[in-house]
């Protein structure tokens, strides 16, 4: 039973199907998921009982079920993030950049906010490319080694390793920065709503931005709320076990 005093993050962690409900009502569940549900609903001016009813319905709707990554090996979670969300970012960012250039060229004179959206998108893309590389080349392999330590498939000891907490904290901070840029893009685009006279490219650009925001929110949720906390918990457990 979903309670109004649960945090949005707790609900998203334990009820994978809740993510679609939060997206439906515009409730932040990845970077800003620390608020209690009742507070998050008040901030969006939606009735908490309506949201709870939707959450309960989603939890019993087989078609709305999403994979429960809290029960998967950490390496599987990381591999899924790379294959699904990282691949999407690398594919979509150049496409959206191209659309932005076309829309600004045609409509930038009468819609100056488009140039600002393009600039914010460029800043986001630059930060994400480095961010994804850090995860794939450094952090995710460190997490995989923690699982190897747990299974005994390495002679390395947890004491010989630097704590994973600092690099994860830096990634979370970068996630927050990305969330701020996305929020600014949403505001500048009037919630991704193009004007009535917008051409097909203009509409495709805003649709793409909306889809990108949705995917990045799910991406960050998997890391902030599932992969990273579980990795830290595993490292703490290993240290406690080896100190005995």
Phi/psi of residue 122, each to 5°?
A: -65, -40
Contact between residue 225 and residue 126 where contact means Cβ atoms under 8 Å apart:
no
User: Is 35 in contact with 43 (CB distance < 8 Å)?
Assistant: yes
Q: Cα-flanking dihedrals φ and ψ of residue 156, to 5°?
A: -65, 150
- pLDDT digit string (tens) for 127-185? 999 999 999 999 999 999 999 888 765 545 555 566 899 999 999 999 999 999 999 99
- Give the H/E segment covering residue 172: helix 165-188
**Would you say 85 and 218 are in contact if contact means Cβ atoms under 8 Å apart?**
yes
- Percentage of the chain lying above the pLDDT 90 cut: 62
Average pLDDT of the residues of the chain:
89
Count of beta carbons in the 10 Å neighbourhood of residue 173: 10
With a pLDDT cut of 70, the percent of the chain lying above it is 90
Using alpha carbons, select from 148, 128, 134, 159 the residue that is nearest to residue 244.
159
**Res 32 pLDDT > 70:** no
Band of residue 33 on the pLDDT scale cut at 50, 70, 90: low
210-234, pLDDT tens digit by residue?
Answer: 999 999 999 999 999 999 999 999 9
Q: How far apart are CA 244 and CA 238, in angstroms?
A: 10
Cα gap 207→193, rounded to integer Å: 9
Please say if the pLDDT value at position 241 is more than 50. Answer: yes
CB 34 within 8 A of CB 7: yes
């Amino acid at each position: 039973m979903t309670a109004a005093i649960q945090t949005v993050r707790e609900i998203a962690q334990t009820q994978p199907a809740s993510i679609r409900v939060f997206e439906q009502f515009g409730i932040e569940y990845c970077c800003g998921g620390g608020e209690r549900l009742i507070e998050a609903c008040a901030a969006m001016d939606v009735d908490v009982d309506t949201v709870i009813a939707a959450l309960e319905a989603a939890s019993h709707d087989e078609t709305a079920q999403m994979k429960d990554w809290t029960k998967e090996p950490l390496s599987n979670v990381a591999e899924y993030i790379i294959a699904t969300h990282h691949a999407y970012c690398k594919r979509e960012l150049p496409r959206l950049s191209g659309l932005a250039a076309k829309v600004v060229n045609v409509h930038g004179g009468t819609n100056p906010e488009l140039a600002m959206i393009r600039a914010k998108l460029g800043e986001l893309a630059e930060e994400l490319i480095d961010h994804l590389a850090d995860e794939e080349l450094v952090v995710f392999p460190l997490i995989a080694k923690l699982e190897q330590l747990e299974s005994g498939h390495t002679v390395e000891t947890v004491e010989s390793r630097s704590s994973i907490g600092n690099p994860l904290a830096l990634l979370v901070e970068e996630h927050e920065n990305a969330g701020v840029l996305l929020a600014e893009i949403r505001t500048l685009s009037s919630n991704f709503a193009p004007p009535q006279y917008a051409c097909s490219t203009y509409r495709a650009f805003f649709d793409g931005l909306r889809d990108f925001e949705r995917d990045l929110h799910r991406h960050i949720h998997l890391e902030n709320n599932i992969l990273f906390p579980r990795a830290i918990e595993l490292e703490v457990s290993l240290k406690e076990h080896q100190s005995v």
